[in-house]
């Protein structure tokens, strides 16, 4: 089994319209793909809904605050007696930035195998990408009844976190950031944060349905 989770962006966007008078909120939707093998093992699917409809995150992004989505997918074996059996966790993250100079959006998906970068010319194309269904290439080990538990943390990056991440992505972990640009961005971000009364933070958790795995024994 491959150690690093690999996400495949599926077709479609599912940004549901909110009911009249309600403010849309970001949501986490999880499910199961069809069986991946005769044993009945199934991969998990995950979707982030309404991120760019939720005014908290849309406002932060429009004000040039980077947004990070940190995913954790836990694999659990269900047990009738005693606590469920934890197997392992797959982790990845997505960083969303607005490039004010280029009037574009930059997305960096960070996997164990390394970062992947994408650029989007407008908010609609970015929303379609974010709202797509992703399938996680990770399966449980052994036989039994299993489920996946997802945790998603959405946050804006601090100045130091952003600088550290930029150096990491460039492969320059020991290189100091450009002082003039960093100082200006810190000033702008802190000023906007004071005006807005703080930056948003969201933590969501969902689990999939259970599924049975019955592999033939040697």
Task: Indicate the length of the chain as a whole number.
Answer: 218
Write down the pLDDT at residue 208.
98
Domain contains 176 = yes
Domain contains 2 = no
pLDDT, tens digit, 9 for 90 and up, residues 122-135:
999 999 999 999 99
Q: How many CB atoms lie within 10 A of CB 70?
A: 16
* Total number of domains constituting the chain: 1
Judging by DSSP bridges, how do beta strands 7-9 and 134-136 pair with one another? Answer: antiparallel
Domain contains 93 = yes
Domain that holds residue 173: 7-213
Domain contains 66 = yes
Domain contains 27 = yes
Domain contains 218 = no
Handedness of CA 153, 155, 161, 165 (dihedral sign): positive
Domain contains 1 = no
pTM reported for the whole predicted model: 0.74
Domain contains 81 = yes
β-bridge partners, 68: 95, 155
pLDDT, tens digit, 9 for 90 and up, residues 71-127:
999 999 999 888 999 999 999 999 999 888 888 999 999 888 888 999 999 999 999
Averaged pLDDT, 189-212: 74
Write down the pLDDT at residue 18.
36
């Amino acid at each position: 089994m491959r150690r690093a989770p690999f996400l495949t962006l599926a077709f479609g966007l599912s940004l549901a319209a909110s009911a009249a008078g309600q403010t849309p909120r970001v949501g986490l939707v999880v499910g199961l793909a069809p069986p991946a093998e005769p044993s009945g093992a199934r991969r998990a699917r995950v979707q982030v809904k309404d991120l760019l409809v939720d005014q908290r995150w849309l406002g932060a992004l429009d004000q040039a605050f980077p947004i990070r989505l940190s995913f954790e997918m836990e694999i659990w074996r269900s047990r009738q007696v005693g606590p469920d059996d934890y197997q392992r966790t797959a982790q990845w993250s997505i960083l969303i930035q607005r490039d004010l100079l280029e009037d574009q959006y930059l997305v960096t998906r960070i996997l164990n195998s390394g970062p992947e970068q994408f650029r989007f010319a407008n908010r609609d194309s970015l929303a379609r990408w974010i709202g797509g269904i992703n399938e996680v290439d990770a399966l449980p080990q052994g036989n039994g009844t299993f489920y996946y538990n997802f945790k998603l943390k959405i946050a804006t990056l601090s100045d130091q976190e952003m600088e550290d991440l930029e150096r990491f992505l460039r492969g320059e972990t020991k290189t100091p950031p450009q002082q003039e640009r960093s100082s200006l961005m810190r000033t702008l971000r802190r000023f906007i944060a004071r005006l807005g009364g703080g930056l948003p933070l969201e933590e969501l958790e969902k689990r999939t349905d259970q599924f049975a795995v019955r592999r033939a024994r040697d």
